[in-house]
Amino acid sequence: MTLTHSLRSDPASPVLLLFGAGGHGRVVADAALLTKSWSTIVVSDRDPARCVGPFLQGVDRIDLAIARSLTVSVHIAIGDNAAREWEASCFPTCHLVSVLHPFASVSQFSQLGAGCFVAAGAVLATGAQVGMACIVNHGAVVDHDAQLGAFCHVAPLATLGGEVILGQRVMVGAGVNILPGMRVTDDVVIGAGAVVRSDLLEPGTYVGVPARRLK
């Protein structure tokens, strides 16, 4: 029996489709394998070149047309916020599932929207609220009562202090420090290593210590 036939003929089997076969997709696939939550994990991509060849041991690539025809759990494994939002809109929200690395620390009193990824070493503290299809990457900290809007990406080793509020599609670069209580509006990019000491109320790219908007 071929893999494709197996996926279609046994819809009750726990199958995970990862959409996005780039570097972030491999990171998510590795975490998904470690959770042992799915008997079968497959990956697909809009780029036909990414739908063939080896991916990770235990994860098969499948064609885009086949992926679109499946009724299975889906995770959008794309690091870019806007692209992740677009692809998420192509799948029913009820099919989107989160992937949490077993070495992440996720409080039982935090909340995750559909389709989130929490990487190894990341921390979601008590009262943290993470919107749909967000990424909290390796070693990042989302402290107590912080709120992330949909499709945000918190890069490795970034720290969001308590009660920080991010809008939608915010990109928090590697090693960024956002002080407690700060507000960040939609569509902001915060460059690596920046320190946010005041609210960022206009979309744009912010860099430096303290973080300032590029003209």
The whole-angstrom separation of Cα 129 and Cα 148 is 6
Question: Would you call 172 helix, strand, or coil by DSSP?
Answer: strand
User: Which pLDDT value is given to residue 10?
Assistant: 57
CATH superfamily label, 99-193:
Hexapeptide repeat proteins (2.160.10.10)
User: Which pLDDT value is given to residue 9?
Assistant: 43
**Averages of pLDDT over each 10 residues, the chain, 215 residues:** 51 85 97 96 94 92 91 96 95 92 98 97 98 98 98 98 98 98 98 98 97 93
The whole-angstrom separation of Cα 17 and Cα 72 is 7
Looking at domain 3-95, does it have CATH number 1.10.510.10? no
User: Which pLDDT value is given to residue 3?
Assistant: 54
User: Which pLDDT value is given to residue 93?
Assistant: 84
Question: Would you call 26 helix, strand, or coil by DSSP?
Answer: helix
User: Which pLDDT value is given to residue 117?
Assistant: 98
- What is the domain partition of the chain in residue ranges? 3-95, 99-193
What is the rounded end-to-end Cα distance, in angstroms, of the chain?
58
The whole-angstrom separation of Cα 207 and Cα 47 is 32
Helix (H) or strand (E) holding 9: helix 3-9
User: Which pLDDT value is given to residue 94?
Assistant: 83
Residue type, 68: R
pTM score of the predicted model: 0.93
